[in-house]
C-alpha cells in the first residue's frame, strides 16, 4: 500500500490515527514538534529514527498516556486525552521496557493482562495460542524473574495482543529478540494487518522498515518523512541507483562530466573505485548506461542496478534533514529510565 493509497483513504472512511501539528514539549523543550501524520486503518506503520528522536513520546501521546501540548490528534476517532475505558480497550500498547511482574509466572502475568483488559473467563484458549506464538507455552509456569530479556519481550507482546485490540502501538517490540523470532513477529504483524488491525511499530532495526506498509522517519522530535518504503528510497537518493566499477578505477572529472550530461543521469558521484549514477528508473536505463561506457571506451568490471539498504536510506534521509545524533526527547529519556 503506497502513501497515496494511504492518504487517499481519508475520503473512504475514518483514519486510525490523525495528527496535525502535534506537539508535546516538556517545559517548552524537546519532545515532539509539529508532527502531522495520517494513518489509515489496516496498515503497518514503521516508526524509525535515531535514539531519542521522539518515537516513544509520539506513541505515549497516541496511547493517551501523555497529553499533547499543542496541535490536534485523534486515535480511532477520539482525542486520546478523552479516551474512555471502551476506547482504551480497543488499543494495545506495548511499552519499550518489559513491564510485567517478576514474582508472577508467565501464565499469571498473561492472565493479569487479560483481566486488566476485560478478557473474561473464556480466555484460556487464546492465552495458550498466544504463548505458543511467542514460544513460551513450555515456560508458562516459569517466574518472570527467571526469564531472559528476550522471553520478557515476547511475553509483553503476548500481553499486548491478549484482548485482540484494533490498534496496536508497539514500542520497539523486536528489541532483544533473535532474528528467527523477529521474523515470526513480523509474520504475526502482517497477519494482524490482514485481519484489519492497524499497527504502529517503532523499531531500532532500520531494515524492518521494509516489512512495513508505511514508514515514518523521525528526527529531533519532528517527522522527517512519511511514506512507503519504496518512496523513501527514491526520496533518499533522488531515484534508482546504478553502480559501475570501471577497470581503471577512478574516472577523470571530464569522464564523469560526460556521464552527468546524459539525459537519463540525475546525478553522478565517484565513491572509492565505484561510480554511482542515480537514474529515474534503473531497469529501463541500465542498457543506456552500458552503451555510454562502451562509446567512451571505458572498460568496466561490473555494471548493476543496486537497491540501497534501508540503513543507507535512513542515513541519507537524516543527513538530508541535517540531523543525526541529536538530543533525546524527554519522553524517550524517561521511558528509557
Contact between 63 and another protein by CB under 8 A: the answer reads: yes
Residue 15 CB, nearest distance to another protein (Å)?
A: 20
Of 50 and 95, CB closest to another protein = 95
The radius of gyration of the chain from alpha carbons, rounded to an integer in Å, stands at 23
What is the spatial distance between Cα 130 and Cα 165, in angstroms, rounded to a whole number? 14
- Pick from 86, 78, 49: which is nearest to 171 by CA? 49
| 3 state DSSP class of 229 | helix
Residues 6+ apart with CB under 8 A from 60: 66, 331, 335
The window from 7-15, 28-36, 106-114, 311-319 that contacts another protein (CB under 8 A) reads 106-114
What is the spatial distance between Cα 77 and Cα 267, in angstroms, rounded to a whole number? 44
Of 66 and 225, CB closest to another protein = 66
CB 228 within 8 A of CB 3: yes
What is the spatial distance between Cα 74 and Cα 5, in angstroms, rounded to a whole number? 20
Q: CA torsion 120→125→131→135, rounded to 10°? A: -170
Of 115 and 274, CB closest to another protein = 115
Binding residues for another protein restricted to 198-237, rule: CB under 8 A: none
Binding residues for another protein restricted to 303-332, rule: CB under 8 A: none
Binder to another protein among 20, 21, 29, 81 (CB under 8 A)?
Answer: 81
Of 108 and 270, CB closest to another protein = 108
Of 113 and 127, CB closest to another protein = 113
The window from 70-78, 86-94, 189-197, 305-313 that contacts another protein (CB under 8 A) reads 86-94
- Residues of this chain that interact with another protein (CB under 8 A) are 60, 63-67, 80-81, 85-89, 91, 93, 95, 97, 99-104, 108, 111-113, 115-120, 143, 169, 335
Amino acid at each position: 500500500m503506497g502513501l497515496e493509497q494511504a492518504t487517499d483513504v481519508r475520503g473512504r472512511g475514518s483514519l486510525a490515527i490523525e495528527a496535525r501539528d502535534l506537539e508535546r514539549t516538556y517545559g517548552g523543550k524537546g519532545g515532539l514538534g509539529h508532527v502531522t501524520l495520517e494513518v489509515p486503518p489496516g496498515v503497518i506503520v514503521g516508526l524509525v529514527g535515531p535514539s531519542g528522536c521522539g518515537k516513544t513520546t509520539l506513541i505515549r501521546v497516541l496511547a493517551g498516556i501523555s497529553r499533547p501540548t499543542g496541535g490536534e490528534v485523534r486515535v480511532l476517532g477520539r482525542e486520546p486525552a478523552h479516551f474512555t475505558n471502551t476506547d482504551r480497550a480497543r488499543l494495545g500498547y506495548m511499552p519499550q521496557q518489559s513491564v510485567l511482574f517478576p514474582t508472577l509466572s508467565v501464565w499469571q502475568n498473561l492472565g493479569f493482562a487479560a483481566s486488566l483488559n476485560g478478557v473474561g473467563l473464556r480466555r484460556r484458549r487464546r492465552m495458550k495460542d498466544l504463548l505458543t506464538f511467542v514460544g513460551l507455552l513450555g515456560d508458562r509456569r516459569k517466574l518472570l524473574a527467571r526469564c531472559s530479556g528476550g522471553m520478557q519481550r515476547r511475553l509483553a507482546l503476548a500481553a499486548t495482543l491478549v484482548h485482540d485490540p484494533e490498534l496496536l502501538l508497539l514500542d520497539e517490540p523486536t528489541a532483544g529478540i533473535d532474528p528467527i523470532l523477529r521474523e515470526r513477529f513480523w509474520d504475526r504483524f502482517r497477519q494482524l494487518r490482514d485481519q484489519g488491525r492497524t499497527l504502529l511499530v517503532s523499531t531500532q532495526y532500520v531494515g524492518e522498515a521494509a516489512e512495513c506498509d508505511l514508514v515514518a522517519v523521525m528526527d529531533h522530535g519532528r517527522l522527517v518523512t512519511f511514506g512507503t518504503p519504496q518512496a523513501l528510497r527514491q526520496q533518499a537518493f533522488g531515484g534508482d541507483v546504478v553502480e559501475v566499477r570501471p577497470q581503471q578505477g577512478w574516472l577523470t572529472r571530464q569522464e564523469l562530466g560526460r556521464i552527468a550530461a546524459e539525459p537519463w543521469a540525475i546525478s553522478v558521484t565517484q565513491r572509492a573505485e565505484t561510480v554511482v549514477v542515480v537514474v529515474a528508473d534503473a531497469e529501463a536505463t541500465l542498457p543506456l548506461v552500458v552503451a555510454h561506457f562502451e562509446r567512451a571506451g571505458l572498460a568496466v568490471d561490473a555494471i548493476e542496478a543496486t537497491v540501497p539498504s534501508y540503513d543507507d536510506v535512513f542515513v541519507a534521509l537524516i543527513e538530508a534533514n541535517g540531523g543525526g545524533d541529536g538530543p533525546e526527547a524527554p519522553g524517550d529519556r524517561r521511558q528509557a529510565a
